[in-house]
Amino acid sequence: MPSVDYTQQGFTSIRVNIDKGVAIVTLCRSNQRNTFVEATVADIVKAYDLFDRDDCVRVVLMTAEQDSPAFCAGAELSKGWGSLFTPEVEEEGDTFHRDSGGIVTLAIFRCRKITMVAVNGHAVGVGITGLQLPCDIRFAWAGTKLAFPFVRRGIAPEAASSYLLPKLLGNSRALSLFLTGATVTPDSPLLSGLYHTILPNREDVFPAALALAKDLAENTSMTAVAVSKALVWRGYDNIEEQHVLDSRAIRVLATGGDANEGATAFMQRRPPKFSDAPGSLKQWMPWWREVAVVPRKAKL
């Protein structure tokens, strides 16, 4: 598949550039503090689904514009929470609504490439839960204010963050953050382990993240990455079953070109040139039960 022209996708809330295997996603509604609106959802879902299937994209890196007043100021609350619900939802009842934060979370989560985020400004609510938690690797500016205001607004944590944050950091930190409705900075002990790298100067966050992104795009195998992510998130809750699963993973990968290239390059003390694409895994992945999330109408 040839690479996509990301300038022709009709994105209005983001810009996408490709730089040596890295898809750079820039939130571009700085004037509105990148609040989370309908266009954000549509654009991110579309973009990450493309990245997932575009073999020219090996790493995705999201960030905000350098001079934006915020990375993402959260949901647009001027119309209240009720504006979340379409007339259709109102009619179909409690089980028909699908949280837009979670739709974004799942789009990023499903992407089989390495997903990174460079948080170079303040972030509130879904600006953390939907845009940061589903990523694999997070960079942040030390001065970023991060707010988890849910219980102080009469609402519960969304965007599948009640799934992700406990698994990322453990339940003790997750409950402290969710139930106090805290505003913290990335070096808070309550966030320990969430950010791969925290940088003192705002302007250094994106370049540092991009440098790692380019290293990973050049030196990691896409198939190895796709399998590694799935082993962590879609593994079994029993060590023996996981042993059987990862044995098969190694068997499948070792018969591909990338494993051979990886070992050969290592022996020859040169950088590897990986060429396998995730599509080659499709006979085996997904091995897990896929749960449909699109709601069905109860009424004709």
What torsion, rounded to 10 degrees, do the Cα atoms 227, 232, 235, 236 define?
150
What residues form DSSP beta bridges with 137?
Answer: 116
* Residue 69 sits in the site that holds a second copy (CB under 8 A): no
Q: Which is nearer to a second copy, 71 or 150 (CB)?
A: 150
48 binds a second copy per the rule CB under 8 A: no
Using CB under 8 A as the binding criterion, the count of chain residues that bind a second copy stands at 112
Beta carbon nearer to a second copy, 4 or 223: 223
Does residue 256 belong to the site contacting a second copy (CB under 8 A)?
yes
Considering only residues 49, 200, 266, 298, which one is a binding residue for a second copy as defined by CB under 8 A? 266
Alpha-carbon distance values, 78 to 74, 83, 211 (Å): 12, 9, 38
60 binds a second copy (CB under 8 A): no
Interface residue with a second copy, options 50, 190, 208, 285 (CB under 8 A): 190
Considering the complex, what minimum distance in angstroms separates the CB of residue 41 from a second copy?
Answer: 13
| 150 phi, psi to nearest 5 deg | -50, -60
User: Cβ distance 213 to 61 under 8 Å?
Assistant: yes
Q: Cβ of residue 47: shortest distance to a second copy, in angstroms? A: 19
- Interface mask toward a second copy for 193-212; x: CB under 8 A: xx-x---------------x
Residues 6 or more apart whose CB falls under 8 angstroms from that of 110 comprise 48, 49, 52
Residue 95 has what DSSP assignment?
T
Q: Which of 29, 33, 122, 173 binds a second copy (CB under 8 A)?
A: 173
Q: Indicate the residue among 20 and 248 with the shorter CB distance to a second copy.
A: 248
CB-side exposure of 6: number of CA atoms within 13 Å?
23
Q: What's the closest the beta carbon of residue 143 comes to a second copy, in angstroms?
A: 19
> How many whole angstroms separate alpha carbon 39 and alpha carbon 61?
19
Q: Is 255 in the site for a second copy (CB under 8 A)?
A: yes
Show contacts with a second copy in window 70-99 (CB under 8 A): 77-78, 80-82, 84-85, 89, 94-95, 97-99
Name the CA dihedral angle for 140, 206, 226, 46, rounded to a multiple of 10 degrees. 100
- Residue 57 binding a second copy, by CB under 8 A: no
Rounded Cα distance, 60 and 47, in Å: 10
**Distance (Å, whole) CA 15 – CA 13:** 7
Which region, judged by CB under 8 A, interacts with a second copy, from 9-17, 24-32, 60-68, 217-225?
A: 217-225
Among 107, 126, 137, 209, binds a second copy (CB under 8 A): 137
Q: Judging by DSSP bridges, how do beta strands 14-19 and 22-27 pair with one another?
A: antiparallel
Q: Which residues, listed in sequence order, are joined to residue 62 by a DSSP beta bridge? A: 25, 117
Contacts with a second copy in 223-242 (CB under 8 A)?
223-225, 227-229, 231-233, 235-242
* Residue 152 makes contact with a second copy by CB under 8 A: yes
Nearer to a second copy, 8 or 78 (CB): 78
Rounded least distance, CB 56 to a second copy, Å = 18
Per CB under 8 A, the segment of 23-31, 48-56, 62-70, 154-162 that binds a second copy is 154-162
Question: Would you report the helix, strand and coil content of the chain in percent, each value rounded to 5?
Answer: 45, 15, 40
In 10 A of CB 293, how many CB atoms? 9
CA 123 to chain centre: 15
